């Protein structure tokens, strides 16, 4: 059993850390939010007073933070994780961030003789709870094999996307498509309901037809259609509008840099940004349906 430092215990990090504890690993955990640390220590983890404290005797360091600046700050800035990590430890950043930051942090790790993987995930909070996440891994094959036993506890699909940063590129493409699909699914449901259809009936029909997609099939944005979806829980928890806006922003930066046409991604980004600016940044991203209904401020 390994000593694992886990940094970032939010909607995703907390259940991922819990699965590692249930598998018998010893976890030292840190989050800026003391309540998040307290919850995990109730689940059997050792609370740490700082990121440096958490990694002191770690064989594996896993981070699940909001965005690139948080990751850079944690490993290379105030968090000072890179300098405090023992030699031979494996670093695995599972946050969704820009590929350039992922490469910069991995290069700094390499300069210290540490192996690092960017390993963003797909599958949402339920995937994190159930240990069924998909990992998109960038880094060396050797590092991936070292990390595989931990990925296999937290997820069920592990893909090697390529060298450092490649996992983030794969994730960015996936999430741009997800933002487009959630917006399109919401439009279609609204159009059906506006003509008198029951959203559950319409969803069943589209799921078995050519409109079926992940947003419709497992994350229905219409309240009451799917008990487990954030839409049926007041759009609480799940994957935040601000996080989706961030991911669409990363995709647009990459599209400009590579001169790739992404008109639908660009439109989805504008819609999510406007939705966030209406005060909905903390809601789950399926709440874009409310924005399209003109109900953001109600
Ligand atoms: P979250 O906002 O719920 O959690 C982030 C946590 O990081 C918070 O508890 C925050 O206090 C902590 N944190 C921030 N800066 C820190 C620092 N410097 N040191 C320690 N802790 C710090 O976010 P989340 O939904 O758990 O998402 C985390 C990452 O996973 C994001 O990059 C997101 O894009 C990605 N992601 C989320 C989902 C989802 O469904 N929520 C799915 C796939 C990927």
Residue 297: predicted pLDDT? 65
Q: What is the mean pLDDT of residues 262-278?
A: 98
Q: What is the mean pLDDT of residues 104-108?
A: 97
Residue nearest to atom 44 of ligand 1 (CA): 121
At what angle are helices 263-275 and 166-194 packed, to 10 degrees?
70
Residue 100: predicted pLDDT? 94
- Residue 295: which pLDDT band, with cuts at 50, 70 and 90? confident
Record the pTM: 0.93
- Residue 298: which pLDDT band, with cuts at 50, 70 and 90? low
- Residue 96 Cα to ligand 1 middle (Å): 9
Q: What is the mean pLDDT of residues 31-45?
A: 97
- Residue 68 Cα to ligand 1 middle (Å): 11
Average pLDDT, the chain: 97
Name the residue of 6, 64, 134, 250 whose CB sits within 8 Å of the most ligand 1 atoms, as the mutation to test its pocket: 64
With H, G, I as helix, E, B as strand and everything else as coil, classify residue 225: coil
Residue 78: predicted pLDDT? 86
Catalytic residue among 171, 207, 233, 246: 171
For ligand 1, residues with CB inside 6 Å are 7-13, 30-33, 36, 51, 64-66, 70, 73-74, 79, 95-96, 121-122, 124-125, 238-239, 243
- Residue 145 Cα to ligand 1 middle (Å): 25
pLDDT digits (tens, 9 = 90+) for 45-77: 999 999 999 999 999 999 999 999 999 999 999
Residue 185 has pLDDT above 70, yes or no: yes
Distance CA 254, CA 101 (A): 13
- Residue 196 Cα to ligand 1 middle (Å): 39
Distance CA 296, CA 283 (A): 11
List of residues 6+ apart from 80 with CB closer than 8 A = 51, 52
């Amino acid at each position: 059993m390994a000593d694992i430092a886990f940094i970032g215990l939010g909607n995703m990090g907390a259940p991922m850390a819990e699965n590692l504890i249930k598998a018998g690993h010893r976890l030292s955990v840190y989050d800026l939010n003391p309540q998040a640390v307290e919850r995990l220590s109730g689940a059997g983890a050792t609370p740490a007073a700082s990121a440096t404290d958490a990694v002191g005797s770690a064989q594996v360091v896993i981070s699940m933070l909001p965005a690139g600046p948080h990751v850079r700050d944690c490993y290379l800035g105030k968090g000072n994780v890179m300098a405090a990590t023992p030699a031979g430890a494996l670093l695995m950043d599972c946050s969704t961030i820009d590929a350039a930051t992922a490469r910069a942090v991995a290069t700094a790790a390499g300069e210290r003789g540490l192996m690092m993987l960017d390993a963003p995930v797909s599958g949402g909070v339920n995937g994190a709870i159930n240990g069924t996440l998909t990992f998109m891994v960038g880094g060396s094959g050797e590092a991936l094999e070292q990390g595989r036993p931990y990925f296999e506890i937290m997820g069920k699909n592990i893909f090697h996307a390529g060298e450092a940063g490649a996992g983030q590129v794969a994730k960015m493409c996936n999430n741009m498509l997800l933002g487009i699909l959630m917006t399109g699914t919401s439009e279609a449901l609204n159009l059906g309901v506006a003509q008198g259809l029951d959203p559950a009936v319409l969803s069943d029909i589209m799921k078995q037809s050519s409109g079926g997609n992940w947003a419709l099939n497992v994350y229905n944005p219409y309240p009451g259609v799917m008990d487990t979806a954030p839409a049926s829980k007041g759009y609480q928890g799940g994957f935040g509008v601000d996080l989706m806006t961030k991911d669409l922003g990363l995709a647009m930066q990459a599209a400009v840099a590579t001169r790739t046409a992404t008109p639908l991604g660009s439109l989805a980004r504008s819609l999510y940004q406007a939705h966030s600016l209406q005060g909905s940044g903390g809601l789950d991203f399926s709440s874009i349906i409310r924005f399209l209904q003109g109900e953001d401020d109600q």
